[in-house]
Every structure is written in C-alpha cells, then in structure tokens.
C-alpha cells in the first residue's frame, strides 16, 4: 500500500477537478492507501465539493516552506499533483520526491489555456505552443486582449513546459490529451491516458444513486451544467433549443445551471426566445444536481473549445441521461453517436437543434440512448480508473 500526497490549488470548489479528487481520494482509501492533501488556497475557502483528507496543509495559510516541509514529514511515497497556478509549489514538490502530474487542461501547451480561436468563428486550435502564438493571439481572439496578461500567461506556459521532464509521469484523461502532450515534448512512454469516471450523485434525500424516470414523465427537456462562457457554447445551445421548439411546435424546457460572464445576457436572450422556457439557477450543489439529472431528458454539451474529456457527460450517463454534444477534444472518446447520445459536428447549431428535436419527439430513441448511457458509465468505472492510476503511481515511486 502507498502513502499518496495529493496536491491541488483548492481543497474545496465547484469544479470538475475537485469533484474528481474527492472521489479519487475516497477510492484510494478504500483500496487501503493513505491519503494526505497539500493545497495552495486558504483552508477558509469554501465550495460545494471538499477533498477529504485526515492530514492537509495550506500553502496560503502556512507558507510554502512550512507546508511542503510538513507534507515531507508525513513521508509520502509519491505525490499526485493537479491544477497549480503557482508553479513554485510544483517545483518544491518535485525537489521533495517523485511527482505524477495530472493535466486537466492545456497547461503549458496554450498561452490562454483555451486551445481555441474565437475569431472569425469559434474553432479548435492544433498549434504547438511557441512564439508564433503571440502573432495569432490578437487577430484570432485566443483569449482576453490584455497585453500584460498575454505576456504573463506566455511566460507561465513556458515555465510549465520546463517542468515537463521533471515529472515522473504525466496523466491525462483522453487519447486526445495524450497526443497534445507528446506533441509538446513529453516522452510518449511517460504520458498515460486514463479515462475519467462518472461520480454517482447524491440525491436530495441523502441516498446515492438516481433513477432516471420514464422518458415521458420528466418535466425537463434539456439540461446544461457548466460555466457561462463563449467556450462552453451556452449561446449556441439557446439558439439550438429555440430552433428545436419551432420544429416541435411546442415549448421546450431548458435549465442552464452555472455561473459566468454570459449569464445575464443569456437570461435576457432566453426571455426573448419564442418557445423556450429557461431557468438559470446558478451553481447547484450535489442534491440539486441530482434532482436535475433525475428529471432531464438529455444533457447538452455545446462546447466549442476542445474539451480535454467532458466529465459532465459521464456524470449524466451514470443517471441514464444521454448527451447531445459537439464533437470536440476528448468528447468522442466516451460519446458514440446513436449509442449513448448524439455527437454533432463542431459549432453546428442547426444539427444540434435537429438532434434535440428528434430526441424529444421519439421516446423509444430516448430510452435506447439512456440504456446506452448507463452501459458507457459502467465501462468508464471508478474501479477501472483507480486500477490504472495505482499502476502509474506505484511505478513512479520505484523509478
């Protein structure tokens, strides 16, 4: 058995990384490993998901030297590191012992981290990160047009790439992301694609598991869970739902759960969209998320950036909810068209509208795709992920 130090920016948060780490920490303990946590933010920071660990240290509260020193005294066999904006923390951990780094995004491989252009139209970027990115950044709207921020991010990406050779291994969630890091110089034998798993939500009665109701009994047609930003495509989804309502000749109910800079504009747009009954509840906790998934006929993933994996789709699949998504990044590795949902060409709003309308029109198809979603969730299981992860961590500590 191993003593595994987890490292992440936050102990609590609303993001997929915290959801993943909370479940992974529990899973590793259940397999007999000891788990501790070092995190960058203050212990006072709160969020809907908390990574449980009997021993934990905050860099913000205790300082870098003291917190890393305390973690070293815990005598970990290996560190499993995750999102970390302050790369001095990663460097200190590397100097203290073997580190396996999990890349949840395009860290070190893109100046903005988005790996997408927004101009003249949203599109994924397949460039290798380097000086030429600074030439494209402004004209192609790679990110916010703030010169100081661009240069800061460019230097940060270069620092992150400089650490690539010092990690014992790099873990990613999809073959798409493995190819990305190999293209940026990480030895192929040190990059491991270990697919993520859907975390079974907690119901509003405190019980695990959600039973997806009969397709005709639900009162929520389309569910979106995510940040309200251009990259996540919520405006494209609203356009698609409006088209679908027109095609069906009835109102379509839509819940867009999340926060972000587009929320107010989306709310105003929805109010003017004929045939759409939209709600914007903000971020939702586990119980509310569970209740929404129990009522949803489908989950929409309208991202225009190349999602590294798209974990939200597997979370829905655990509940028997099929997904309708644009075919970007790693999404096609868990979503097969006409098997567990509908896979749509990138940014093709009319095609997404047609898929939504077809699913709402056809209860038999929804039932078949719901069964396919459950089958996919069973294949992408926590047990499969943890078994592969254990092998990588054990190899790193003995190298």
The alpha-helical segments, DSSP class H, found in the chain are: 16-30, 59-62, 64-73, 87-96, 132-137, 147-163, 175-183, 234-248, 263-271, 286-295, 311-318, 349-361, 363-379, 382-398
Residue 25 is classified by DSSP as H
- pLDDT value at residue 263: 97
- Is the pLDDT reported for residue 218 higher than 60? no
- Is the pLDDT reported for residue 81 higher than 50? yes
CA atoms within 13 A on the CB side of 241: 34
* Local confidence band at 215 (pLDDT 50, 70, 90 cut-offs): very low
Residue length of the chain: 399
| DSSP reduced 3-state for 336 | coil
* Local confidence band at 127 (pLDDT 50, 70, 90 cut-offs): very high
- pLDDT value at residue 327: 97
Question: Tokens 């109102």 belong to which residue?
Answer: 251
Enumerate the β-bridge partners of residue 172.
Answer: 193
CA atoms of 242 and 314, how far apart (whole Å)? 26
* Local confidence band at 47 (pLDDT 50, 70, 90 cut-offs): confident
- 151-197 pLDDT, tens digit each: 999 999 999 999 999 999 999 999 999 999 999 999 999 999 999 99
CATH topology of domain 3-109+146-197+382-398: Rossmann fold (3.40.50)
Please, which residues have CB within 8 angstroms of residue 206's CB and are 6 or more apart in sequence? 287
Residue 125 CB coordination number (10 Å): 19
- Is the pLDDT reported for residue 37 higher than 80? yes
* Local confidence band at 144 (pLDDT 50, 70, 90 cut-offs): confident
Contact 161, 183 (CB under 8 A): no
* Local confidence band at 48 (pLDDT 50, 70, 90 cut-offs): confident
- pLDDT value at residue 208: 37
- pLDDT value at residue 350: 98
**Domain boundaries, given as residue ranges, for the chain:** 3-109+146-197+382-398, 220-379
Please, which residues have CB within 8 angstroms of residue 128's CB and are 6 or more apart in sequence? 109, 183, 184
* Local confidence band at 143 (pLDDT 50, 70, 90 cut-offs): confident
Bigger pLDDT: 92 vs 15: 92
- pLDDT value at residue 201: 59
Average pLDDT over residues 259-278: 96
Token pair, residue 28, equals: 């590793």
Neighbour-count burial for 127-148, b at 16+ CB within 10 Å, e otherwise: eebeeebeeebeebbbbeeeee
- Is the pLDDT reported for residue 233 higher than 90? yes
Residue 226 is classified by DSSP as S
**How far from 299 is each of 198, 222, 368, CA to CA, in Å?**
14, 6, 15
* Local confidence band at 202 (pLDDT 50, 70, 90 cut-offs): low
CA atoms within 13 A on the CB side of 386: 18
Q: What single string gives the DSSP state of each residue in 191-221?
A: EEE----PPPPBPTTS-B--PPPPTTT-SEE
Domains 3-109+146-197+382-398 and 220-379 share a fold: yes
Pairing of strands 3-8, 34-39: parallel
CA atoms of 250 and 223, how far apart (whole Å)? 17
- Is the pLDDT reported for residue 323 higher than 60? yes
CA atoms of 118 and 135, how far apart (whole Å)? 15
Average pLDDT over residues 349-368: 98
Average pLDDT over residues 283-287: 85
- The CATH superfamily holding the domain 220-379 is Glycogen Phosphorylase B; (3.40.50.2000)
């Amino acid at each position: 058995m191993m003593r595994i130090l987890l490292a992440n920016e936050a102990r609590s948060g609303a993001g997929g990384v915290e959801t993943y780490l909370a479940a992974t920490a529990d899973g590793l303990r259940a397999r007999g490993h000891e788990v501790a946590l070092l995190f960058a933010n203050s212990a006072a920071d709160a969020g809907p998901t908390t990574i449980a660990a009997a021993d934990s240290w905050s860099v913000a509260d205790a300082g870098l030297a003291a917190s890393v020193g305390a973690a070293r005294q815990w005598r970990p066999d290996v560190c499993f590191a995750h999102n970390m904006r302050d790369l001095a923390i990663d460097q200190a951990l590397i100097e203290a012992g073997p580190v396996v780094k999990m890349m949840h995004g395009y860290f070190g491989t893109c100046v903005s981290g988005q790996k997408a252009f927004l101009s003249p139209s949203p599109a994924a970027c397949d460039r290798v990160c380097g000086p030429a990115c600074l030439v494209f950044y402004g004209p192609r709207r790679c990110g916010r047009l703030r010169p100081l921020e661009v240069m800061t991010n460019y230097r940060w990406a270069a620092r992150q790439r400089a650490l690539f050779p010092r990690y014992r291994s790099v873990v990613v969630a999809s073959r798409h992301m493995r190819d990305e890091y190999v293209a940026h110089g990480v030895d192929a034998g040190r990059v491991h694609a270990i697919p993520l798993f859907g975390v079974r939500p907690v119901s509003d009665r405190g019980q695990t598991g959600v039973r997806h109701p009969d397709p005709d009994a639900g009162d929520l047609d389309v569910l979106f869970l995510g940040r309200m930003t251009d990259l996540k495509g919520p405006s494209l989804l609203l356009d698609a739902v409006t088209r679908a309502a027109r095609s069906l000749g009835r109102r379509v109910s839509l819940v867009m759960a999340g926060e972000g800079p587009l929320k107010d504009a989306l709310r105003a747009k929805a109010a003017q969209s004929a045939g759409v009954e939209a709600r914007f509840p903000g971020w939702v906790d586990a119980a509310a998320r569970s209740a929404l998934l129990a009522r949803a006929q489908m989950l929409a993933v309208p991202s225009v950036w190349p999602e590294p994996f798209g974990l939200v789709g597997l979370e829905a699949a655990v509940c028997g909810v099929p997904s309708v998504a644009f075919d970007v990044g790693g999404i096609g590795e868990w979503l097969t068209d006409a098997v567990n949902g509908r896979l749509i060409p990138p940014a093709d709003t009319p095609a997404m509208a047609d898929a939504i309308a077809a699913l709402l029109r056809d209860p038999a198809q929804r039932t078949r795709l719901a069964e396919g979603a459950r089958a996919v969730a069973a294949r992408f299981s926590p047990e499969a992920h943890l078994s592969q992860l254990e092998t990588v961590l054990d190899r790193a500590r003995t190298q």
